[in-house]
């Protein structure tokens, strides 16, 4: 990520605005909890909370993923990053359905294997001779990532299809956000 020519670019403003929106949403969610709502009451009162939390995770993953074509250390980091994010949707799905303890049990058993699998998939990208800020820095992989992540999340957490779209859309948004910061918002 580079910020060129002194003046902050428009992309930077959008990013800061999005960040502010996310902070406000988080604050509102925490406020609701502190008013004595339990997690299940909160989900009843605010059905979007699960999809929004999953969407926030999708934004973060999407905003680091384009640098999978980076040089050196960053490409080695992407493997475990993918591993860590890969176990989040099934963990949340399990926790919502069977309780937090079951979610933790998932992480100790199947989750650990899933972490290794996703990490291996991330590392396999080391074999692809990418050009930094090349093909992976464009809208197409952003849409593909959002779609794949939305579907993966949908298969792990019982969400309505419109909520799965929200999660996938926010993933594409995070990826696009990174492209904008790099000044690479192209097709
Ligand atoms: Zn980049």
Q: How much is the pTM?
A: 0.80
Considering all CA atoms of the chain, what is the largest pairwise distance in Å, rounded to the nearest integer? 53
Report how far ligand 1's centroid is from the alpha carbon of 179 (Å).
6
Instruction: Per residue of the chain (187 residues), give pLDDT as tens.
Output: 444 444 455 666 667 777 877 887 788 777 777 777 777 777 777 778 889 889 988 998 998 888 888 877 778 888 999 999 999 999 999 999 998 899 999 999 999 999 999 999 999 988 888 888 888 899 999 999 999 999 999 999 999 999 999 999 999 999 998 898 888 887 6
**Residue 4: per-residue pLDDT:** 44
**Residue 156: per-residue pLDDT:** 95
* Cα–Cα dist 93/32, whole Å: 22
Report how far ligand 1's centroid is from the alpha carbon of 160 (Å).
32
Query: Which residues lie closer than 8 Å to 130 by C-beta, 6 or more apart?
Result: 68, 69, 136
CB 185 within 8 A of CB 172: no
Report how far ligand 1's centroid is from the alpha carbon of 4 (Å).
14
Report how far ligand 1's centroid is from the alpha carbon of 82 (Å).
16
Report how far ligand 1's centroid is from the alpha carbon of 10 (Å).
17
Report how far ligand 1's centroid is from the alpha carbon of 64 (Å).
8
């Amino acid at each position: 990520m580079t910020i060129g020519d002194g003046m902050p670019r428009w992309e930077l403003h959008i990013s800061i605005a999005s960040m502010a929106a996310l902070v406000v949403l988080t604050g509102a969610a925490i406020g609701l909890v502190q008013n004595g709502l339990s997690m299940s009451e909160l989900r009843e009162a605010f059905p979007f909370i699960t999809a929004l939390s999953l969407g926030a995770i999708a934004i973060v993953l999407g905003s680091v993923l384009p640098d999978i074509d980076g040089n050196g250390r960053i490409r080695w980091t992407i493997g475990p990053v993918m591993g860590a994010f890969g176990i989040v949707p099934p963990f949340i799905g399990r926790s919502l359905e069977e309780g937090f303890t079951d979610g933790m049990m998932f992480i100790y058993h199947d989750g650990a294997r899933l972490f290794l699998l996703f990490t291996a998939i991330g590392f396999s990208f080391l074999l692809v001779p990418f050009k930094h800020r090349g093909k992976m820095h464009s809208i197409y992989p952003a849409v593909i990532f959002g779609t794949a992540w939305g579907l993966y999340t949908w298969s792990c957490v019982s969400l309505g299809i419109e909520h799965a779209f929200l999660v996938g859309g926010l993933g594409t948004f995070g990826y696009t956000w990174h492209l904008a910061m790099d000044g690479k918002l192209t097709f």
